[in-house]
Amino acid sequence: MEQLIKDVLEKQNPWWFGKSYSTGISRLRYYPLLSKYLETEEILLILGARRTGKSTLLYQLISSLGLPEDKEESVLYMNLDEPVFQSQTESVNLLSSIIEDHIAATKKERYYIFLDEVQNFKYWTQTLKTLYDTDKRLKFILTGSTSSLLKKKTITRLSGRYLSLTVYPLTFKEHLDFKGIKKPTSAEKRHEFEEYLKHGSFPRISLEEDTNIKEELLKNYYETIYLKDIIFPHNLRNNRDVINLLYFIISNVGKPFSYNSIANALEISADTVKEYLSYAEDSYLLYSINKFDYSLRKQLANPKKIYCLDTGLINAVSFKFSENYGRLLENLVFIELIRRQSEVFYHKGTYECDFLIKTQNRITSVIQVTKELNLDNRKRELEGLIEAMKTYDLQEGLILTKDTEDLIEIDERKIFVKPVWKWLLD
């Protein structure tokens, strides 16, 4: 093994030498499947956007193993964003040679191989398939910052050999944990919710007190995602078109669109819009939902709505917080729904309802999101929700607001009105 690589590995694996390492604030209780999957033989693939805390979760998993001193070399961790590794991303044998050399030098009964940002290596699936099939001592735990890892033909090499889980930015409860607020008062919950909505839920952002630093970090996160996971890996030459498209979408979250309408607005082709948006979705930066229809063909033909991974990114990149409060609330509710693994659509008939939740081939919940219910919007918001309730034969509906709580009964149907911050803590 080259000395330079050996030096990097020793730096990245401090437990080999009995040295301490930071595991951050524990999130494992929010991801119980991680610990469960750690004990299975299958490869564990942890997906999610950059800066959502995947690497820290790996350190927490390593710590949770509780290995005695004589078995600490059973853990091999490699952060493949390291420049020494990045310079050899197309090497066919690099990963396998490092792993095999480490096994030969340490001779343990069981090995945990942690590979961080595995998408950086071109031949990672071939390497892991061979090692997985030939050496049952090895347990692989990987992270990746693009969902295309599961879509590319190469992943079929690992069919039946892996389990995957997606990590998102912090829940509101996690945000409170990170702030050290164990038993928040209602006033503290409302105050922290405003911070959570405005600056988002990336772990580092929740820990930072300085507003200016928060905003600079968020801009940096945004640039890192579109450069490292959209522009560079897809060899996109016209960066300006990508940047303009992302800015346009993030400035219009929650609004129905078609590829043609965006293409016309930006003066690029509809195929280019579709291509670039697919890359943004693969990077976990953007998410699209369809208008619900029992016909899949009609679903795909109708306008979509797009949301962003994090409201802090929206505020840092595009518009003013106070002027777009309702759309930020809607975006935040959507991210929480997918975090809860809901299958989400929107309703559009005579009126519109923000979210439909599908469970086992039927719509089971309807949700409307608005900053507040007042004389100007009450009729519109209720009409959209009630139309959806009648369409899908539901007796209950939910309206989420900034701070209103109520129960509205219309035609023997119940509509629960609840603050978003309370719903997030349910």
Give the integer Cα–Cα distance in Å for 241 and 245. Answer: 6
What percentage of the chain reaches a pLDDT higher than 90? 89
* 199 shares a domain with 136: no
Mean pLDDT score across all residues of the chain? 94
Confidence of residue 20 (pLDDT cuts 50, 70, 90): very high
> Which is more confident, 337 or 123?
337
* 126 shares a domain with 18: yes
Whether the model clears a pTM of 0.75, i.e. scores above it, the answer is yes
Residue 318 has pLDDT above 90, yes or no: no
- Please check whether residue 120 is in contact with residue 44, taking contact to mean a CB–CB distance below 8 angstroms: no
* 176 shares a domain with 162: no
Asked whether residue 366 is domain-assigned, the answer is no
> Which is more confident, 119 or 313?
313
* 178 shares a domain with 93: no
Confidence of residue 158 (pLDDT cuts 50, 70, 90): confident
> What residues form DSSP beta bridges with 425?
none
Model pLDDT for residues 226-255, shown as the tens digit of each residue: 999 999 999 998 899 999 999 999 999 999
pLDDT at 295: 87
Number of domains into which the chain is organized:
2
* 99 shares a domain with 241: no
> Where a domain ends, among 141, 166, 191?
166
Asked whether residue 368 is domain-assigned, the answer is no
* 195 shares a domain with 72: no
- Token pair, residue 133, equals 């099939």
Residues in the chain: 426
- Does residue 320 sit in helix, strand or coil? coil
Phi then psi for 220, rounded to 5 degrees? -65, -40
> What residues form DSSP beta bridges with 343?
358
* 132 shares a domain with 48: yes
Asked whether residue 231 is domain-assigned, the answer is yes
* 232 shares a domain with 127: no
Residue 188 has pLDDT above 80, yes or no: yes
> Where a domain ends, among 117, 134, 166?
166
pLDDT at 1: 65
Residue 260 has pLDDT above 70, yes or no: yes
Dihedral angle of Cα 173, 179, 185, 187, to the nearest 10 degrees: -100
> Where a domain ends, among 150, 166, 182?
166
Contacts for 59 with CB less than 8 Å, ≥ 6 apart: 21, 22, 23, 24
Confidence of residue 49 (pLDDT cuts 50, 70, 90): very high
pLDDT at 151: 65
To 5 degrees, how large is the angle CA 118–CA 119–CA 121?
80
Which range (78-82, 119-123, 139-143, 401-405) has the least confidence? Answer: 119-123
pLDDT at 153: 56
Tell me which residue range forms the domain holding 198: 170-287+309-318
Q: Give the amino acid at 340.
A: R
Kindly tell me the burial class for residue 85, based on how many C-beta atoms sit within 10 Å of its own C-beta (0-12, 13-18, 19 or more): buried
* 145 shares a domain with 46: yes
Model pLDDT for residues 163-180, shown as the tens digit of each residue: 999 999 999 999 999 999
| 242, HSE (Cβ side, Cα atoms, 13 Å) | 22
Asked whether residue 134 is domain-assigned, the answer is yes
* 55 shares a domain with 88: yes
Asked whether residue 158 is domain-assigned, the answer is yes
Asked whether residue 380 is domain-assigned, the answer is no
* 195 shares a domain with 131: no
Asked whether residue 200 is domain-assigned, the answer is yes
Asked whether residue 121 is domain-assigned, the answer is yes
Task: Find the mean pLDDT for residues 109-132.
Answer: 93
CATH code of the domain in which 89 resides: 3.40.50.300
Sign of CA dihedral 178, 179, 183, 184: negative
| CA-based nearest residue to 98, from 124, 117, 72 | 124
pLDDT at 237: 86
pLDDT at 296: 85
* 17 shares a domain with 155: yes
